Structure 1
Amino acid sequence: MPAQKIRAVAICVFLDNGRILVNEGHDPVEGSSFCRPSDGGIEFGETGAEAVAREVREELGAEVANVRLIGTLENIFTYLGAPGHEIVQVYDGELADRSLYGRAFVSVVESDGQPFQAVWRGLGSFGPQLPLYPAGLVQLLLAKEAEVAE
């Protein structure tokens, strides 16, 4: 049995008028669907912000500007029947190619070469039927929006 480890992860939400860019996923073991922003493991010697910039470049073929940490979440979960544990640094940032904000879908290529479509979703679209992971992300983003509005 492989050793279980806590994974350090960085995500960027690209918060834009109450919506974020997410990947839609499905866990066939649980029979449940969910959403999650694109993420990437933080490599040794790399900051979370550097990991975000690298992942956006690799997966979206885009550049990100004004990357800023908005919080950290701990994510303990089960996916495909296996337990997982992550410390997730949550960043906001701006896509340098502003046209990406006007698209319904953004093409993404995973590190294993699998293509998929990321979508823009409003924060109000997440709930029990379609959760947003990591847990606590919606609350963190709503607090951030309230802080900016003040």
Structure 2
Amino acid sequence: MAEPRIRALALCVFQHNGRILVNEFRDPVSQQTCFRPIGGGIDFGETSAEAIVREVQEELGQSITDLRLLGTLENLFIYNGKPGHEIVQVYDASFTDPSVYTHAQIKGHESDGAPFTVRWHDSSSFSEQAPLVPKGLGDLLKSAGLLD
């Protein structure tokens, strides 16, 4: 069994007309629906900003600009019945291609090839039963003026 470890992540919030771009997923054990922005692990030797640029390109095939660090969150959680611990650098950015903002949903692919779809959601989509994760992200986005 692998040694538990803290995972370094970078997430990017894309905001448009009071909505943010998030992936909706379900915990296989608890069956809880959650929402999370685009992003992923920071590779050794890579800055969190470089990780965001790479992740958005790999997952959505899009280039970004105006990258800005919003803050850092520490996330302790249970997913798929197992404890997790993440240090998350949260960024805001813009897509280089403005037509991306006209799409209600965007198809993407995880690094293992698994498909996913991101959609634009406003704050009314998130609740205790269907949270925006990681914990604290909603408050961070509200304080930055990116979410109502």
Quickly name the TM-score band, shorter chain normalised.
Answer: over 0.9
- Between the aligned partners of 1:112 and 1:123, the Cα distance in structure 2 is 30
- What does 1:97-112 align with in structure 2 at a 5 Å threshold? 97-112=97-112
Instruction: Specify the SS of the correspondent of 1:145.
Output: coil
Query: Which TM-score applies when normalising by structure 1?
Result: 0.94
1:17 to 2:21 alignment: no
Matching residue's letter, 2:76 = I
Match of 1:89 in 2: 89
Amino acid in structure 1 at the alignment position of 2:70: I
Q: Secondary structure at the match of 1:130?
A: coil
Aligned match of 1:67: 67
Match for residue 118 of structure 1?
118
Q: Which moved more, 1:83-92 or 1:128-137?
A: 128-137
2:60 and 2:31 map into 1 onto residues whose CA distance is 28
CA distance in 2, matches of 1:82, 1:59: 25
Unaligned residue ranges in structure 1 (runs of 5+): none
Q: Distance in 1 between matches of 2:30 and 2:109?
A: 25
Q: CA RMSD in A?
A: 1.1
Q: 1:74 Cα deviation (Å)?
A: 0.4
Q: Aligned-pair distance for 1:121?
A: 0.4
Matched, 1:134 2:134: yes
1:78 aligned to 2:78? yes
- State the partner residue of 2:144: 144
Quote the Cα distance in structure 1 between the aligned partners of 2:78 and 2:66.
33
Distance 1:28 1:58 in 2: 25
CA distance in 2 between counterparts of 1:47 and 1:125 reads 31
Percent of aligned positions that are identical: 54
Query: What TM-score do you get using the length of structure 2 for normalisation?
Result: 0.95
Q: Where does the alignment leave 5 or more consecutive residues of structure 2 unmatched?
A: none
